[in-house]
Amino acid sequence: MKPLLRIVDLHKSFGTLEVLTGISIEVAKGEKLSIIGPSGSGKTTLLRCINYLEKPTSGHIYIDDELIGEKKADGKYVRLSDRELAKERAEIGFVFQRFNLFPHLTALDNVGVAPRRVLGLEKRDAEEHAMAMLEKVGLAHKAEEFPERLSGGQQQRVAIARVLAMQPKLMLFDEATSALDPELIGEVLKVIRELADEGRTMLMVTHEIHFAEEISDRVIFMDGGNIVEEGPPTEMFSNPAHERTRLFLRQILDR
Amino acid sequence: MPDFWIKLWEWSPKILSTLLNATAMTVMVTLGALVVALVLGLVVVLMRISPLKVLRYPALAYTDVMRGTPALVQLFIIYFGLSDLGLEFDPISAAIVGLGMNGAAYVGEVYRAGIEAIHKGQVEAALALGMSPARAMRYIILPQALRLMLPPLCNYAILLVKDTAIISTIAAPEIMFEARRMVQATFMYAISGQIYLFCAVFYLALTLPLSQVAKRLEKARERWR
Which H, E and C letters describe B132-143, residue by residue?
Answer: CHHHHHHHHHHH
Domain that includes residue A78, residue range: 5-91+171-253
In a domain, A26, yes or no: yes
A188 and A161 share a domain? no
User: Over the range A163-189, which residues count as b (16 or more CB within 10 Å of their CB) and which as e?
Assistant: bbbbebbbbbbbbbbeebeeebbebbb
| Region B30-53 average pLDDT | 92
Query: Average pLDDT, whole number, for chain B?
Result: 89
Domain boundary (A167, A189, A206) is at A167
Q: To 10 degrees, the CA torsion angle through B32, B35, B41, B44?
A: -80
A145 and A179 share a domain? no
Among positive and negative, which fits the CA dihedral A97, A98, A104, A105? positive
With CA atoms as reference, the chain B residue closest to A86 would be: B130
Predicted confidence (pLDDT) at residue B225 exceeds the cutoff of 60: no
Q: Do A92 and B128 touch (CB under 8 A)?
A: yes
A71 and A177 share a domain? yes
Nearest by CB to residue A113, choosing from B139, B224, B225, is: B139
Residue B185: the pLDDT is: 78
In a domain, A139, yes or no: yes
Is the pLDDT higher at B225 or at B53? B53
Q: Are A175 and A156 in contact (CB under 8 A)?
A: no
Residues of A in contact with B225 (CB under 8 A): 103
Residue B221: the pLDDT is: 72
A11 and A86 share a domain? yes
Query: Average pLDDT, whole number, for chain A?
Result: 94
Angle of helix A152-164 relative to helix A123-136, nearest 10 degrees, comes to 130
- What ipTM did this prediction achieve? 0.94
With CA atoms as reference, the chain A residue closest to B124 would be: A53
Dump pLDDT digits (tens) for B91-120: 999 999 999 999 999 999 999 999 899 999
Residue B218: the pLDDT is: 83
Q: How many structural domains compose chain A?
A: 2
Residues of A in contact with B124 (CB under 8 A): 53, 96, 100
Tell me whether A133 touches chain B (CB under 8 Å).
Answer: no
Min mean pLDDT across A161-165, B58-62, B141-145 is at: B141-145
In a domain, A208, yes or no: yes
pLDDT < 70 regions, chain A: 255
In a domain, A184, yes or no: yes
Residues of A in contact with B126 (CB under 8 A): 102
Predicted confidence (pLDDT) at residue B1 exceeds the cutoff of 70: no
Instruction: Give the containing element (helix H, strand E) for B7.
Output: helix B2-48
CATH superfamily of B2-223: MetI-like (1.10.3720.10)
Beta-bridge partners for A67: A62
In a domain, A64, yes or no: yes
Residue B29: the pLDDT is: 94
pTM above 0.90, yes or no: no
**% of chain B surpassing 90 pLDDT:** 59
Q: Are B62 and B107 in contact (CB under 8 A)?
A: no
Residue B50: the pLDDT is: 81
In a domain, A96, yes or no: no
Q: What is the CATH number of the domain that holds A34?
A: 3.40.50.300
How far does B145 lie from chain A, in Å, by closest CA? 10
A195 and A83 share a domain? yes
A12 and A84 share a domain? yes
Residue A20: the pLDDT is: 95
Domain map of chain B by residue range? 2-223
A9 and A87 share a domain? yes
A152 and A212 share a domain? no
Predicted confidence (pLDDT) at residue B158 exceeds the cutoff of 90: yes
In a domain, A47, yes or no: yes
- In terms of DSSP H, where are the helices of chain A? 43-50, 82-89, 107-117, 123-136, 152-164, 182-197, 209-215, 233-238, 243-253
Q: Which of B123, B129, B225 to probe the A interface (max A CBs under 10 A)?
A: B129
Nearest by CB to residue A148, choosing from B125, B132, B224, is: B224
The band of B223, judged by pLDDT with boundaries at 50, 70 and 90, is low
